[in-house]
């Protein structure tokens, strides 16, 4: 694991060195890649924001000077960190992240199921209450198996939409023979076809945004016998819920547009929640032929993108409660936070807080691995 991490960290530094420095050479004390790496190390130690990262650099001045040969033994100041985050070319940093993630992670074994979802950056919201509201969003390709982000794209909601961005990501991906899981927003006529055309497969939540198909699936699952069934119980958080997953093979396509569908999946949840009877049903479509246990695992696995990515960035990395709202800075910091998350997962820490406890203000452990 440490040998692998050595290569991941080394390649990251090589990529960071390629980020174009926007600053004039005169008066530039620290190389840009060093500033960016210090920000990443600060994030990994829970220093979030301009001043906290500046404090991290100041508190660790001697060690940072030792490892990065800082000129005059001086660390980047709070104002330098602020300026870098606010003025660094976002598109260039995003491209660097995607190149690094592609080279280090996309071709690894065991990456079969990719959850896809978008997340807004609440700190960037402007004009909350009217039609001119705008904010930044990122969409991610997220490995269900490893918790690693394989690809990122950024847009503003006034310029594009999650549906179109995800379609572009899939159209441009070099991933093949993978299984994409997506929520009902993407149960449109274009996205599943793009996935098939990219030599991948899909498992997508189906809702009434495709009303005719939805009614057809509802009818089929009501009047046909499933080819596979799986059930499991959830007894936690004040609830006792039975999940019943039934799979139906598609022998006759609904129409030519949906001819790539091979399975309908019905998920029923019923039991007792907080002392009250509970029932809910949901439907999924897939281009795969799998048993109910596999579909059950991957349907639940899709929500790891919420628990292991979005929640981590919101709660541990404080992405939605940053003390500043500059769009460029928040967006750049979000990319660097994703790098920090991938580094922890590359070290084998599914739990970011466990990884932070392992570092325990000894971030130099990471540098010891790459000397």
In three-state secondary structure terms, 319 is helix
Q: Does one domain contain both 297 and 340?
A: no
Same domain? 21 vs 164:
no
**Is residue 171 in some structural domain?**
yes
The answer on 10 and 113 residing in a single domain is: no
**CATH at 276:** 3.90.350.10
The answer to whether residue 96 is domain-embedded is no
320 domain-assigned:
no
Residues 67 and 154 in one domain: no
**54 and 171 share a domain?**
no
For residue 226, being part of any structural domain is answered with yes
Tokens of 63: 């060690």
Instruction: Quote the number of domains for the chain.
Output: 2
Question: Is residue 234 in some structural domain?
Answer: yes
| Tokens matching residue 110 | 């065991």
Which pLDDT value is given to residue 301?
Answer: 96
pLDDT, tens digit (0-9, with 9 covering 90-100), for 73-124: 899 999 999 999 999 999 999 999 999 999 998 888 888 999 999 999 988 8
The answer to pTM > 0.85 is yes
For residues 80 and 145, state if they share a domain. Answer: no
Q: Domain containing 119: what range?
A: 108-309
Q: Cα-flanking dihedrals φ and ψ of residue 154, to 5°?
A: -120, 145
Do 190 and 338 have their domain in common? Answer: no
> What tokens appear for 324 in the block?
């500043």
- Among the candidates 309, 344, 361, a domain finishes at 309
Residues 80, 115: one domain? no
Residues 147 and 295 in one domain: yes
What is the model's pLDDT at position 69? Answer: 86
Question: 342-371 pLDDT, tens per residue?
Answer: 999 988 899 999 999 988 777 776 766 555
Looking at the chain, which runs of residues are DSSP E strands? Answer: 113-126, 134-143, 149-156, 179-182, 201-206, 228-236, 239-249, 263-273, 276-286
Q: Are residues 126 and 75 in the same domain?
A: no
pLDDT digits (tens, 9 = 90+) for 299-349: 999 999 999 999 999 999 999 888 888 999 999 999 999 999 999 998 889
Residue 167 lies in a domain: yes
- The answer to whether position 52 is within a domain reads yes
Same domain, 253 and 112: yes
In this structure, the answer to whether residues 181 and 245 fall within a common structural domain is: yes
């Amino acid at each position: 694991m440490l040998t692998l991490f050595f290569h991941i960290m080394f390649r990251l530094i090589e990529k960071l060195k390629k980020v174009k420095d926007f600053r004039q050479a005169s008066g530039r004390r620290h190389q840009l890649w060093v500033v960016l790496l210090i920000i990443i190390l600060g994030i990994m130690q829970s220093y979030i924001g301009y001043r906290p990262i500046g404090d991290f650099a100041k508190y660790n001045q001697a060690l940072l000077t030792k490892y990065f040969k800082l000129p005059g033994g001086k660390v980047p100041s709070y104002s330098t960190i602020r300026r870098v985050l606010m003025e660094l070319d976002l598109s260039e940093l995003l491209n660097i992240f995607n190149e690094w993630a592609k080279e280090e992670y996309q071709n690894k074994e065991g990456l079969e199921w990719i959850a896809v979802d978008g997340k807004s950056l609440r700190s960037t919201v402007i004009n909350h209450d009217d039609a001119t509201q705008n904010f930044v969003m990122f969409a991610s390709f997220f490995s269900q198996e490893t918790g690693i982000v394989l690809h990122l794209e950024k847009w503003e909601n006034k310029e594009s939409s999650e549906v179109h961005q995800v379609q572009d990501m899939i159209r441009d991906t070099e991933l093949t023979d993978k299984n994409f899981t997506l929520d009902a927003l993407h149960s449109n006529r274009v996205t599943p076809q793009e996935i098939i055309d990219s030599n991948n497969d899909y498992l997508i939540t189906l809702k009434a945004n495709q009303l005719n198909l939805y009614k057809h699936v509802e009818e089929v699952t009501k009047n046909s016998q499933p080819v596979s069934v799986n059930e499991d119980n959830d007894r936690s958080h004040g609830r006792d819920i039975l999940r019943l997953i039934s799979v139906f093979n598609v022998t006759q396509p609904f129409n030519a547009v949906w001819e790539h569908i091979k399975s309908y999946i019905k998920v029923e949840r019923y039991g007792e929640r907080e002392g009250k009877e509970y029932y809910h049903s949901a439907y999924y479509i897939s281009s795969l032929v799998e048993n109910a246990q596999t579909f059950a695992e991957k349907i639940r696995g899709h929500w790891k993108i919420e628990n292991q990515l979005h929640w981590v960035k919101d709660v541990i990395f404080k992405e939605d409660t940053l003390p500043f709202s500059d769009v460029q800075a928040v967006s750049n910091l979000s990319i660097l936070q994703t790098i920090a998350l991938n580094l922890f997962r590359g070290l084998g820490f599914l739990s970011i807080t466990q990884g932070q406890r392992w570092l325990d203000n000894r971030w130099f452990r990471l540098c010891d691995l790459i000397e």
